[in-house]
Each structure stands twice: as structure tokens, then as C-alpha cells.
Chains A and B, each alone.
Chain A
Amino acid sequence: MAFESMHAFWSMGGYAFYVWLSFGIAVAVMGANIITARWAYRDMLLRLKTFYANEADNAKDITTP
């Protein structure tokens, strides 16, 4: 370990604000990217289900005399 205590680790030699804010922002932005990519895929599946349901309804309307 490069630090003698947990306090020394958290204080980062007096640069805690800059170091932890940098890591925090990077984790938040990357995390948001991963989550929104998963959501985009899940939303697409729902959108496709609606699309196919509408297509089936339209087909039924055409075939019904």
C-alpha cells in the first residue's frame, strides 16, 4: 500500500477534492453510458413489440371483409 492510513488515502496528500472529483465524474459518466445503452436496447425490444402488434392489426384489417 502506498498509504500509511485510511485517512492518508482519503486525503490524497491534500489533493482529495481534485482526485476524487475526477474519479467520481468519470465513474458517473461511464456508468450513465452503460445504463442508458442497456435501456436503449430494452426500449427497442418494447418498441419492436408495439411495431409488430400494429403490423398484425393492420394485416387483420386488410384481410377482414
Chain B
Amino acid sequence: MWRFLHYWGTPKHFYQLTGKLLPWISAITSLLITYGLIAGLLFAPSDYQQGDAFRIIYVHVPSASLSLLVYNFIAINAAIGLIWRIKLAYIAAKSAALIGASFTLIALITGSLWGKPMWGTWWIWDARLTSELILLFLYLGYMALQNAIEDNQKADKAAGLLALVGVVNIPIIHYSVVWWNTLHQGATVTRFGQPAIDVSMRYPLFALLLGACGIFLVVLLWRMRAEILWRERRSQWVNEVMVHGV
């Protein structure tokens, strides 16, 4: 297992492997998103309380879930980088930041667009919304710090520490609707036992959730491949990639 991870964890082998995987991940992601959008927008029935406004769930929930997931991904990779000094972990953390911030931004905007017709307000400073906004600032802070320091090693370490400190916000976001009395509704999909959403509405949601994971992977891998080439530019294998094609 460790030998397997060590082999594919080297920049050269990771670059070669992802080159082969990317078309497949892109194709599966396209299928999932196409199915999710068609089923969610055309075939899922209207909600008995929210009418067709509930369809915002198909962009809001995947983006909000991914905003948390991607931050955890960054924090785990930052920790791996800081503890075991694995170059690829830092590259993964750096490459994931922009897409994570994008998911957070979409979650905030679509939440606001959903809140106006349902709650009568675009924004309220309740625990869930405020902690999600703090998450966006953490992403922006991470990216700013990473880009402010020219030396890659120092930038990786400083931004990695910031990511680890900020991870305290993740459980706060997740449990904010349980710990405090918020305007935001409680868990619907991840509720233990039976989810509070019908199957006809749930399957498109799961497809779009997986599709969002696919988009994250595709964007992450493209960015990682670019970053790997630059950081490894003095290696013989990158020279060969440039000469013999990608």
C-alpha cells in the first residue's frame, strides 16, 4: 500500500497517471451533470411548500457541500505537507484553493437567491450564513498569503498553517443549524435515518453532488499538472515531456 502510494505520489508518475485519467473523469462528470440537470429541472416534482424555487437546491447543496469538502482537502494536504514534507500535497492544496472559493461563492449567492423568496430577505447574519462567509474569507486569505510570498517553500508552509487554523470553522458551519437557532433549515440530505427528501428529488441531487466532485477533480488535476511542470522544470522528465509531447 505504502509502496503504491509512494510510487504514484511522485510528481512524475502522478503527472503521467492524471494525463490518462482526466478524459475519463471529464466524461463521467459530463454524464452526471447532464442527467442531474435534466432530471432536476424537468422531471423532479415541485415542492409542496416551496414550489419550483426548491430547484435551487440542485446548485446550492452541491456547491455548499463542496465548499466544506474542498477546505478539508486543503487542510489535510497542508498537514501532510507540513508533517511529511510531501511536495505533491502542497501542490494539491494550492491548486484546490480557487475552485474551493468558487464553490463557496456560488453557495453564498444561490443561498441568497433562495432566501429572498422563502425567507423574505437576501441576507441575515445567522450562524450558518456568517460562518460560510468566514469560509470564503479563509479561502481568499489562503490564496493571498500563498501568492504574497515568492519562495514556494515558505509560501506553502505559511498558507498551510493558515489552512490548518481555519479548519476550526468547518464543524461550526456544519453544526451551526444544530447548535444555534438559525433561519437556515436543518440537515435534509445528510440526516441520519431517512433523508427528508423524496427519491425523485434525491437522485438528481446526488448526481449533481457527484458531478460537482467531478468538476473539482478536473479543475484540480489541470491546475496540479501545470504547477508540477513548473516546480519540476529542472527535472529531466519535464524536459522529455516538453520535447516528446504531453
Chain A interface (Cβ within 8 Å of chain B)?
1-3, 9, 12-15, 18-19, 21-23, 25-26, 29-30, 32-34, 37-38, 40-41, 43-45, 47-49, 51-52
Contact = CB atoms under 8 A, between A and B. Distances in A.
Given A29-B102, A29-B106, 7 more contacts: A2-B44, A12-B52, A13-B51, A13-B53, A15-B117, A34-B219, A37-B218
A9 B43 CA distance: 11
Contacts, number: 99
B27 interface: no
B56 A19 contact: yes
A29 B63 CA distance: 11
Contacts of B46: 2, 13
A14 B215 contact: no
Interface stretch (B108-116, B123-131, B133-141, B180-188): B108-116
A19 B219 contact: no
Chain B residues touching A, range: 35 or more
B142 to A, nearest CB: 16
Nearest to A41: B226
B164 interface: no
A26 B59 contact: yes
A26 B216 CA distance: 13
A34 B60 CA distance: 19
Given A19-B53, A23-B59, A45-B242, A34 B218 contact: yes
Contacts of A12: 52-53, 55
B239 interface: yes
Contacts of B56: 18-19, 22
B16 to A, nearest CB: 15
17 contacts: A3-B42, A13-B46, A13-B52, A18-B113, A18-B114, A18-B116, A22-B109, A29-B105, A30-B102, A30-B106, A32-B102, A34-B218, A34-B219, A43-B226, A45-B229, A45-B246, A52-B239
B223 A22 contact: no
B154 interface: no
Contacts of A32: 102
A49 B230 CA distance: 11
A8 B102 CA distance: 31
Nearest to A12: B52
A48 B222 contact: no
A25 to B, nearest CB: 5
